[in-house]
Amino acid sequence: MNRIHIVSNRLPVSINVENDHIELVPSVGGLATGMRSVYKEYNGKWIGWPGLPSDDLNEELQSNIDEKLIEEDCVSVHLSKEEIDLYYDGFSNRTIWPLFHYFAQYIDYSPELWDAFVSVNQKFADKALETLEEGDTIWIHDYQLLLVPEMIKSQKPGVTVGFFLHIPFPSFEVFRILPWRKELIQGMLGADLIGFHTFDYQRHFFSCVRRLMGYEISFNEIHIEDRIVIVDSFPMGIDYDKFRDAAIQTFQKPLQEKSKLHRELEKYFLVSPNRKLILSIDRLDYSKGIPNRLQAFAKFLEEYPEFIGKVTLIMLAVPSRGTVEHYINLKREVDELVGNVNGRFGSINYTPVWYFYRSLPFENLIELYSSCDVALVTPVRDGMNLVAKEYVASRTNRTGVIILSEMAGVSKEMGEALMINPNNTGEIAQSIYQALTMPLEEQRERMIYLQDRIKRYDVFKWSSEFVKSLRKVEKLQSSIYAKKVNTSILEKIKTEYANSQKRSIFLDYDGTLTGFKKNPNDAKPDEELHKILYQLEEDPKNVITIISGRDRESLENWFDGHKINLIVEHGVWIKKYNKEWKMLANANDTWKPSIRPILETFVDRTPGSFIEEKNYSLVWHFRKSEPEQGELRANELKDELTTMIANHNLEILEGNKVIEVKSGGINKGMASLQFLQNQNFDFILALGDDWTDEYMFRELPDTAITIKVGLKHTAARYKVDSVSKVRSLLSNLE
């Protein structure tokens, strides 16, 4: 089994150094838990920053730390204070984080942050490359390392690269704001598999890829020059059993073993048995909607004064990114709001908000999860939000209500929660009331479904699903490579060619002999192509046919003077060398007046698109249109046409950025077969790049050498990845 390595900004351990004594403390976060099982099981290494600035460590200490870490299969990337400041606090948390969470007003565009981001990503990639061997697999995590996939792929193409983004991926309109948008997308596309928490993020990513890079996307595959990138959603889970078991144990502990917090909570319930507790837990981050939550809680107390003195909001905020200006301001805002709510609604024996600005041990978290009646989770944007899942897992008696922001990725999996818009304080206040008054039976009904789902798709399932997909994508890439014309296949073709007496060579034109141009009339043959064809024609054993969907005029003009045959309009017409045009198939064009107006409405609605009229077909081109709109309209057009042509002998062909309607039963397969009739060729070669060429690949005899240009699934025997490879193959035949 191939090794799987992990790369993330932080290693799954923290380091304590006291009097040169090094202690490693494993971290308990969700990512560390999920990934530990992966890299241990697959004999990999975990590459990341150990958490201490390298300026604080002398060389000896650094190498001692490295040694200690390697015992845990961890490889350290040492970062200086300046690098942490510019790459981590800087570009990661002052540029990408606000951008991806739709806080455009907070984005820092300083180029020096970007430069540091590139160089630190390169540092991670270099460390990974030292560890990686061809055939290994690597799984890279999160927004701090968006450029690493490409940096690895370009150096070691044989490594399978996975990338998972833990935060949202924003819509194109937001993403485009960034000056380095293309570079980020390119960086990510170095991966073979890209994972997001939800389908929405995946959709946004596709639209950015389409618009910024112009790559073709079919289903969840992105076709880039010589590879396929698979994109999928994998909603991250938690270690469900750990939370559930800990919650069970908490209640079974004898009083003297209970934590101070737990004893205080119990005392509190003893004094006020009808008190209700609402829990709020997050890192102190502006994406988490903490001020909105406090305002909504105040509104709730204002609108339902009967709850004053009876409900307490326990608000835990883990200090986070305290050096970044917006976080400092947020801290001040939250402090003031808490003071304000407590001042307005509190009394000597009632504090409405208990606010803890610190990280709490796991044991305390569990006590709070299992003791609070309601969890208030109201981020304004959140990639997933594990707190909501942890609350569900800790509810061993199956009661409790979650109020959940529809802007959190987790909302897609928690239909049974009370869903709110985090900017609508009135709605949140109303939901708090609904949650506090919800009958126990209803709470249980909702909780059972939630627990079932969150338990099934836990963090281990999440990571194993991702690994499974990595394995699949690895196979897919190798099947693509298997058909690729390599030196030995090329030698085989050359030998067959040399040993034959009468050869038929079918060549598609656009996308095969020449690249695509925005305007089809600009794609005329260049000098190099003319030379290659002249050379082939010189050999009397060769019969060369250009077989294309184009009309008669341009090809006839362009290849005037060549000793070749032309088959055009997908097989309607043929012009043998030195002969006149002849119809190969019975076609008619009486259908055109009813189809043309439909295409015209699509031209009107899709700027940049146009109609090309051939003798027996009509073609709608959208290469010049805005890519996403073009694809969208193409699907719409196909849909409309399919119903229209139901009772006519017509066909819809989908080519490269074109939709063509033509008389039925005519295609390159039929045309090439007809051409071969009654002739005894002992060598047949056919090259083509798109869908319409597949007819030819399927119909030609099994002995034919059929070659697809591009990577898509094909009936052809072989593949080459570009026009220039086609040209070099043809010039190599002798």
State the minimum distance, in angstroms, from the CB of residue 446 to ligand ADQ: 21
Strand partners, 718: 707
Q: Which stretch binds ligand ADQ (CB under 6 A): 220-228, 380-388, 508-516, 578-586?
A: 380-388
- Which two tokens mark 228? 């396929």
Cβ atoms of 174 and 207 closer than 8 Å: no
Counting residues that bind ligand ADQ (by CB under 6 A) gives 19
Closest CA to 671 of 592, 590, 544, 566: 566
Residue 90 touching ligand ADQ (CB under 6 A): no
Residue 261 touching ligand ADQ (CB under 6 A): no
Q: Are strands 565-568 and 542-547 parallel, antiparallel or unpaired?
A: parallel
State the minimum distance, in angstroms, from the CB of residue 97 to ligand ADQ: 9
Q: Which of 224, 308, 318, 438 binds ligand ADQ (CB under 6 A)?
A: 318
* DSSP 8-state code for residue 308: T
Residue 30 touching ligand ADQ (CB under 6 A): yes
Is 232 part of the annotated catalytic residue set? no
State the minimum distance, in angstroms, from the CB of residue 379 to ligand ADQ: 8
Residue 359 touching ligand ADQ (CB under 6 A): yes
Residue 387 touching ligand ADQ (CB under 6 A): yes
Q: Which stretch binds ligand ADQ (CB under 6 A): 357-365, 476-484, 624-632, 648-656?
A: 357-365
Residue 281 touching ligand ADQ (CB under 6 A): yes
Residue 365 touching ligand ADQ (CB under 6 A): yes
For 430-484, the three-class secondary structure string (H helix, E strand, C coil) is HHHHHHHCCCHHHHHHHHHHHHHHHHHCCHHHHHHHHHHHHHHHHHHHHHHHHHE
CA distance 265 to 357: 18
State the minimum distance, in angstroms, from the CB of residue 711 to ligand ADQ: 32
Q: Which stretch binds ligand ADQ (CB under 6 A): 34-42, 250-258, 276-284, 551-559?
A: 276-284
Site mask for ligand ADQ (CB under 6 A), range 137-166, x = bound: -----------------------------x
Residue 384 touching ligand ADQ (CB under 6 A): yes
Contacts of 8 (CB under 8 A, 6+ apart): 31, 35, 46, 47, 48, 140, 141, 142, 145
Is the torsion defined by CA of 514, 214, 140, 113 positive or negative?
positive
- CA dihedral defined by 316, 322, 328, 334, rounded to 10 degrees? 0
Amino acid at 423: N
Residue 283 touching ligand ADQ (CB under 6 A): yes
Q: Which stretch binds ligand ADQ (CB under 6 A): 71-79, 279-287, 458-466, 483-491?
A: 279-287
For residues 627-654, b (16+ Cβ closer than 10 Å) or e, as one string? bbbbbebbeebeeebeebbeeeebbebe
Q: Which is nearer to ligand ADQ, 169 or 573 (CB)?
A: 169
Q: Which of 383, 525, 549, 669 binds ligand ADQ (CB under 6 A)?
A: 383
Q: Which stretch binds ligand ADQ (CB under 6 A): 151-159, 337-345, 358-366, 480-488?
A: 358-366
Contacts of 114 (CB under 8 A, 6+ apart): 91, 95, 179, 180
For residues 507-516, b (16+ Cβ closer than 10 Å) or e, as one string? bbbbbbbbee
Count other C-beta atoms under 10 Å from residue 667's C-beta.
23
Residue 382 touching ligand ADQ (CB under 6 A): yes
State the minimum distance, in angstroms, from the CB of residue 469 to ligand ADQ: 17
Catalytic residue among 508, 510, 690, 693: 508
Chain residues in the site for ligand ADQ (CB under 6 A):
30, 166-167, 236, 281-283, 316, 318, 359-360, 365, 382-387, 390
